[in-house]
Chains A and B, each alone.
Chain A
Amino acid sequence: MTMTIYVNQQPLPCPMNTLLADVPALLQLPAQHLAFAVNHTIVHRQQWADFALNHGDQLDAFTLVAGG
């Protein structure tokens, strides 16, 4: 069984019960320097492994900056 989530507005098919911690590998991106918001709320890295995604979830994957 698969479902579709959206990462930065692009559809991403993935298995049911996909966890947020699985998403970097699905995106073929290193998890380092990556932040996720799910449905407009940021999810702290410590919660990724327990954070189950649902069909239709809107994710934003981004990095932060600190320059000025």
Chain B
Amino acid sequence: MSNVPDAPQQWYSRYSRHFLLENFDETHQQRLQQSHLTVIGMGGLGTTAAQHLAASGAGTLSLVDADTVCISNLPRQLLYSEADIGRPKVFAAREHLQANNPGCIIETHVGQASSCELPGLCGPTDAILDCTDNIQTRLALSRYARSAGLPLFSAAAAGYSAQVIAFNPAPGHCCYGCLYGLNAIAPQHCLSHGVLGPVVASAALFQALQVLYFVTRLAPVSWGSLYRFDARTLQWLNHQLPVNLHCEVCQS
């Protein structure tokens, strides 16, 4: 399936609820339409973020994931259906995203986001969404985003916890390496620990909203603010992450 842009009248109808928002006009929608966003990881985080960004009118999404859809994905990864089991996630995602919004161009890459391939995978993008499930890829993405001058929107979830943080690539801002340097990542991931769909989706929706604000310039992005959601108390908390002067990513 290829992308089919809306005719002007349909474009206004499709995004009419955006135009009814305070401070949101055609310029904001056009900024979104001109944006190219790269989603690394099409699991619970990436599917939810990509669904909202594509449906909201992002111009181009590059999707990167090595996996195929399996049945244990379906409770969290609502973009996929039973009929997709066994298919590469990025192909199934492209089909479903374009079924919702044929105007969105979807580029797909089946593979891991290893550090040597990142320039090719991310290409001419405006922002990277870190929706991965492992620390090594998160660190590689942070290094790449920093060197390429790209903002990085990082989300994570496990157990009853979700977290989101946006990294500005400019010097003087913290990076994922600074967060990693806290040595506070619990030794868990969703293979060994449970996770609930709405908890992962909470992180991804927050992440997508930040990306939407960044692209449209509808609201400022609070770079380096760590937003944490505790699903047991239903509380969001946020803390500022200062630069770690010992960070191996941004201080070397």
Chain A residues in the interface with B (C-beta under 8 A) = 32-35, 37, 40-42, 44-46, 60, 62-68
Knowing A33-B184, A40-B239, A46-B246 are in contact, say whether A64-B163 is a contact too (CB < 8 A).
Answer: yes
Contact A37 B239 (CB under 8 A): yes
Contact B135 A66 (CB under 8 A): yes
A37 contact set on B, CB distance < 8 A: 239-240
Apart from A65-B157, A66-B156, A67-B188, what are 18 other A-B pairs with CB-CB below 8 Å? A33-B183, A40-B240, A42-B182, A42-B226, A42-B239, A42-B241, A44-B178, A44-B181, A44-B245, A46-B245, A46-B246, A64-B179, A64-B186, A65-B185, A65-B186, A66-B185, A68-B133, A68-B200
Pick the residue among B44, B238, B240 that contacts A68 (CB under 8 A). B44
Contact B157 A67 (CB under 8 A): yes
Q: Contact mask B147-186 → A, CB, 8 Å, 1/0?
A: 0000000011111011100000000000000110111111
Pick the residue among A42, A44, A65 that contacts B159 (CB under 8 A). A65
Contact A68 B241 (CB under 8 A): no
Knowing A67-B156, A67-B195 are in contact, say whether A44-B133 is a contact too (CB < 8 A).
Answer: no
Pick the residue among A33, A41, A45 that contacts B239 (CB under 8 A). A41
30 inter-chain pairs at a CB distance below 8 angstroms, sorted by A residue, are A35-B182, A42-B182, A42-B226, A42-B240, A44-B182, A44-B242, A44-B245, A45-B182, A45-B183, A46-B244, A46-B246, A60-B239, A63-B184, A64-B156, A64-B163, A64-B182, A64-B185, A65-B159, A65-B162, A66-B134, A66-B138, A66-B158, A66-B189, A67-B189, A67-B190, A67-B195, A68-B45, A68-B132, A68-B155, A68-B200
**Total count of chain B residues near the partner, CB < 8 A:** 45
Contact A65 B242 (CB under 8 A): no
Contact B189 A35 (CB under 8 A): no
| Bound Cα distance from A40 to B182, whole angstroms | 15
Knowing A44-B182, A62-B228, A66-B138 are in contact, say whether A33-B241 is a contact too (CB < 8 A).
Answer: no
Closest CB-CB distance, B101 to chain A, in whole Å?
23
Contact B161 A65 (CB under 8 A): yes
Instruction: Judge if B218 is at the interface, Cβ distance under 8 Å.
Output: no
B159 contact set on A, CB distance < 8 A: 65
A42 contact set on B, CB distance < 8 A: 182, 226, 239-242
A65 contact set on B, CB distance < 8 A: 156-159, 161-163, 185-186, 188
